[in-house]
Amino acid sequence: MLLMSHRGGHQESKKKLEISPSETMKAEEENYKEEAKEPKSEDWRPPSVFGAADLKNRAVGLYNIGQTCCLNSLLQVFLMNIHFTKILRRISVPVCATQKKKNVPYQMLLLLEKMQCGKQKAVSPRELVLCLEAHRVTMFVQYDAAQLFLTLWNLLKKQMKNPELVEKLSDLYTISVQEHLACQICSSETKRNSSMLSLPVPLLDSDSSMLKTLEKCLQCFFRPEELTGHNMCFCEHCGKKTPFQQSVKLVHLPQTLTIHLKRFCFGRSAYIHKISNCLPFPQDLDFNAVLTEQQCQAYDNEKAAWKYELFAVVAHSGTTSYGHYCAYIRSLTECKWYCFNDSFVEQVSWDDVKSTYGHSDLYWGQTAYLLFYMKKQPQ
């Protein structure tokens, strides 16, 4: 399974249960009855492949059936990505009913079909929620969006039986880096290639000072780190613990790049707190202008494609104990921004998206937590 790097701090993964989902699910039951039934044919495919909001009628939301705002926001980001839905519609449909209920890619495909073909303002993710529970994913609790995104991606990759589709899914989302560890006494160096689903960038530098822009956060993530004192490593050539320099060099960037803003971190009191300070992020991002030659381990033709434009923002409101998620997503066919807040969906402006930059005095307002950038098409 693909793992997320913990370099640059610690993030909270899951939060405590607050409410029972039973009453909420019962209240939504009437909405389920009108939804389309599951297709029976093994050869069934949705009639069209667009993002969930790229409908002729209107954008479609997802009902919150009990603390599912985090799941709903991530599902919208997945299903609004036409590169992802092209992969999703090519999956093999499970044969028996039991397999269908437990197959995450298939349940996501059914949800996409309901969102495209339904006449309602929102549909329920109930069947997908039950599917996730069958894989021991605890639902109806407060989640960290970065951790749930990793969980969903791993389940999708594991259950896509076609190796070609697995490769396409990896190409769409996976970041390749090379980790370097060099002894500062004898200069011996070890290298290791690894993959990441997101770049978990810190919002604070080594002196605990706030970083002012996303570009500064990226530079901080790729900046070499000195391992001294208690952090020294054992060097086989020197035969003892010595100071080391640790660094990460960028090798490959995917079509859809995920950046995790590490707003949840440990403070001096050993309690997790949220950093709500303002962090501007650009609509256009060129990694060649952000990183130095020493921070890259890629060929020129690879680096030439490192130009991105913002596709989606998953924003968090609240504190470490409780909160709410919503998603701002740019339609790839309409080039318009939408805010997906569970069942409520509306078209918004770039100024609305910028409102998720954050503010040091902010308590409940929205702050960007996950950024999704889409690789620009060559001119």
- What are the chain's domains? 59-174 (3.90.70.10)
What is the pLDDT, as a whole number, of residue 267? Answer: 64
Give the pLDDT band (50/70/90) at residue 379.
Answer: low
What is the pLDDT, as a whole number, of residue 36? Answer: 38
Which whole-number Å values give the CA distances from 76 to 108, 267, 309, 343, in the listed order? Answer: 11, 32, 18, 11
pTM for the structure as a whole = 0.85
**CA-to-CA distance for 215 and 64, rounded, in angstroms?**
34
Assess whether pLDDT exceeds 70 at residue 363.
no
* Token duo for residue 195: 């993959």
Give the pLDDT band (50/70/90) at residue 11.
Answer: very low
What value does the mean pLDDT of the chain take?
Answer: 85
Q: What is the pLDDT of residues 188-226, one digit of tens each?
A: 999 999 999 999 999 998 888 999 999 999 999 999 999
What is the pLDDT, as a whole number, of residue 119? Answer: 76
Give the pLDDT band (50/70/90) at residue 19.
Answer: very low
Give the pLDDT band (50/70/90) at residue 360.
Answer: confident
What DSSP string describes 47-86? S----TT--SS---EE--SSS-HHHHHHHHHHHT-HHHHH
Concerning whether 237 is annotated as a catalytic residue, the answer is no
Q: What is the pLDDT of residues 250-277, one digit of tens each?
A: 999 999 999 999 998 766 666 777 888 9
Concerning whether 117 is annotated as a catalytic residue, the answer is no
pLDDT > 90 in the chain, percent: 70
Assess whether pLDDT exceeds 60 at residue 248.
yes
3-state secondary structure of 188: coil
Between 291 and 119, where is the model more confident? 291
Q: What is the pLDDT of residues 26-54, one digit of tens each?
A: 333 344 344 334 444 434 444 444 455 45
Under a CB-based contact definition with an 8 Å cutoff, are residues 9 and 264 in contact? Answer: no
Assess whether pLDDT exceeds 80 at residue 13.
no
Mean pLDDT of 133-159: 94
Candidates 69, 131, 296, 326; catalytic one: 69
Assess whether pLDDT exceeds 60 at residue 23.
no
What is the pLDDT, as a whole number, of residue 268? Answer: 62
Where b means 16+ CB within 10 Å and e means fewer, 42-76 reads: eeeebeebbbbbbbeeebbbbbbbbbbbbbbbbbb
What is the pLDDT, as a whole number, of residue 333? Answer: 87
What is the pLDDT, as a whole number, of residue 359? Answer: 85
What is the pLDDT, as a whole number, of residue 191? Answer: 93
Candidates 270, 263, 281; CA nearest to 200 is 263
Candidates 168, 152, 188; CA nearest to 1 is 152
Between 27 and 370, where is the model more confident? 370
**CA-to-CA distance for 26 and 30, rounded, in angstroms?**
8
What is the pLDDT, as a whole number, of residue 18? Answer: 29
Candidates 83, 324, 326, 339; catalytic one: 324
Q: What is the pLDDT of residues 297-322, one digit of tens each?
A: 999 999 999 999 999 999 999 887 78
Assess whether pLDDT exceeds 60 at residue 129.
yes
